[in-house]
Amino acid sequence: MTPFTNGPGTWVLLVVPALALFALAMRWRHRRDMAKWGGADNIRSLSILPPSELDLIRSACLWGALVLAAVAFARPQWGEVAETIQKSGLDVVILLDTSRSMAVKDTLPSRLERAKLEVKSFLAAVEGDRVGLVDFAGVPVTLSPLTEDSGAIGMLLDISDPDLIPAQGTDVGKGIAEAIRLFPQPHDRDQVILLFSDGEDQGKDALAAARVAAGLGIRIFSVGVGTEAGGTVPGLSGQPMVDPTTGSTAVSRLDEKSLSQVSSITDGRYWTLAGAGSVVPQMMEEMGRLKRKEYASRSQAMRQDQYAWFLVPALMLLLLALVLPDRRRVPASGPASRADSKERAQAVVALAAFLALASFPAKAQSVHTLSETARADYLAARYESALTSYQRALQQASAPPLKSRLHFNIGTCMLALQRSQEAKDELSLALAGAEPLVRRRALYNLAQAFYAGGDRERALASLRTLLIDGPEDRDAQLLYEWILRQKPPDQPPPQKPPNPPPQPPPPDVLEQLPMPPPKELQNEMRPPEPPVPGMKPW
């Protein structure tokens, strides 16, 4: 990687040798012309020109100042220093109900899709918080631990559907217990569980799990998705499901009471998500009231600017060249001598101002200029240089849409450099942006990053998500078909189970006969209780 980070400055360095050759040619021509008048020594003795030694020193100072200023203009960097970045925020676990009842369409487009849209709006609003994701139905499944990568959480939401968890039913208590497990204990920051569900709990342990959360200082904010009128529960084939206990069509309704009880136990809040409005502003207001403590610090290696080592000598050489006389002193007075002193002072000020401005080229460069330079480097296959420029532009960017585009460009450069793991991280951050075009392109490049890293299934999943949003995307179709045609990695042959040990011979038949209890105890024995019915399939 080049030690110079200012692109135009490197071109100035290439121009300096050409200027030096031109100056030598002009000096040779000047000496040839002076030879016609008796040579340089004769002319100097008859004129006010200084001795040739002073003339040589002054020229060397001027050229040295020019070369050093050009190097400073190119902004050299070397050496690294660790810069500590402090971060603070909350720990939030999103607990999403993906049971079959969440496919009810009493809230359009469906309860689950409406909840996922609300979660994505929340992820776009959070800043500095760590977020985890847990889906639950009959059992919970952790999709993501606590992470700062909200873009990755948004991508994982796309695979959250009623078919994700085979275990049927709804057990809110197990979901809360799994969310609690993700929080570090002991903790020095506020911890929140965001529960999105229709409230139909068949596990009956939700209140007990809420009390455990309250004992650990964890608050549960519940969002009820659906309506009290409810709707029919669709089955796998799309036909309405049948309630096994009644034999009629299964109907699911929003149970606000149970969700409100869970939140009240932990001093949380409850909101209903049924219409077209959003509850994210109310969530952010409640979370803003919680204390936010520092939860992490990260050291980042930053290259150091070293232009001062060249700028200061350049200024000193320039001042020395201006101090050296360019002609011998003669008795002079009047306006001509004063005008000469004034012109020299103006020249000093002008050159010093030029060098001062040239020493700060990077600060004058905007995000747009850096991006244009990086794009030109990328098209010229200078991926390392393009990556450096995009990273510098990201440090100066402040608007979220601009940051999303820069994360996409950085991830694309890393993908070109075959750094697939880092590319996945940057492209996942680009998915958090609100621009549909950036999201589609990030999904496409993310699929290539997954495939380059050997994760064929996640590459196909990214392309499926892209094709759902835009089925007309021809590039995504071709890449999806190409990955399908590639030979999957060879699986190791299944190992044969070891031969079971020989079973002992069965006991005597007489030993298997049950012995009835004494007659005195038979009257006191209670009849067996009926078995507890299992969970309903929604």
Q: Let me know whether 314 and 385 are in one domain.
A: no
Q: Let me know whether 147 and 279 are in one domain.
A: yes
Q: Let me know whether 107 and 70 are in one domain.
A: no
Q: Is residue 223 part of a domain?
A: yes
Q: Let me know whether 287 and 420 are in one domain.
A: no
Tens-place pLDDT, residues 194-213: 999 988 877 778 899 999 99
Q: How many residues does this entry show for the chain?
A: 538
Q: Is residue 491 part of a domain?
A: no
Q: Let me know whether 96 and 239 are in one domain.
A: yes
Q: Let me know whether 199 and 313 are in one domain.
A: no
- CATH number, domain at 276? 3.40.50.410
- CATH number, domain at 422? 1.25.40.10
One-letter amino acid of 90: L
What is the CB neighbour count within 10 angstroms for residue 157?
A: 23
Handedness of CA 396, 398, 402, 403 (dihedral sign): positive
Q: Is residue 426 part of a domain?
A: yes
Q: Let me know whether 254 and 371 are in one domain.
A: no
Q: Let me know whether 321 and 234 are in one domain.
A: no
Tens-place pLDDT, residues 59-92: 888 888 888 888 887 778 777 665 555 556 788 9
- How far, CA to CA in Å, does 478 sit from each of 90, 296, 446, 469, 482? 42, 43, 15, 16, 6
Q: Is residue 331 part of a domain?
A: no
Contacts of 205 (CB under 8 A, 6+ apart): 171, 172, 173, 174
Q: Tens-of-pLDDT digits for all 538 residues of the chain? A: 567 766 666 667 777 778 778 878 887 887 777 676 666 666 666 565 566 666 778 788 888 888 888 888 777 877 766 555 555 678 899 999 998 888 898 888 889 999 999 999 899 888 778 899 999 988 888 888 888 888 888 888 888 888 777 777 788 999 999 999 999 877 777 899 999 998 887 777 889 999 999 999 999 999 999 888 888 888 877 788 887 777 788 888 888 898 999 999 999 999 998 776 788 888 888 887 776 555 445 555 666 777 778 888 888 888 887 777 665 555 444 444 455 555 555 555 655 555 555 444 444 356 778 888 888 888 888 888 888 888 888 888 877 778 888 888 898 898 888 888 888 888 877 776 657 788 788 888 888 888 888 888 888 888 887 887 677 888 888 888 888 887 665 555 556 666 666 766 655 444 445 556 666 555 555 454 454 455 666 6
Domain encompassing residue 228? 87-297
One-letter amino acid of 58: R
Contacts of 489 (CB under 8 A, 6+ apart): 454, 456
* Strand order across the 270-273 sheet: 140-147, 130-136, 91-97, 191-197, 218-225, 270-273
Q: Let me know whether 203 and 247 are in one domain.
A: yes
Model's pTM, two decimal places? 0.45
Q: Let me know whether 229 and 259 are in one domain.
A: yes
Q: Is residue 504 part of a domain?
A: no
**What are the residue ranges of helices labelled H in 324-381?**
335-358, 361-364, 367-379
Tokens of 165: 């968890």
Q: Is residue 334 part of a domain?
A: no
Distance CA 464, CA 266 (A): 39
If DSSP states are collapsed to H, E and C, what string results for 268-283? CCEEEECCCCCCHHHH
pLDDT at 363: 41
Tokens of 448: 């290539």
Q: Is residue 332 part of a domain?
A: no
Q: How many domains does the chain have?
A: 3
Q: Is residue 337 part of a domain?
A: no
Q: Let me know whether 282 and 315 are in one domain.
A: no
Contacts of 373 (CB under 8 A, 6+ apart): 7, 389
**Reduced to 3 states, what is the DSSP secondary structure of residue 97?**
strand
**CA-based radius of gyration for the chain:** 38
pLDDT at 524: 55
What is the CB neighbour count within 10 angstroms for residue 384?
A: 13
Q: Let me know whether 62 and 119 are in one domain.
A: no
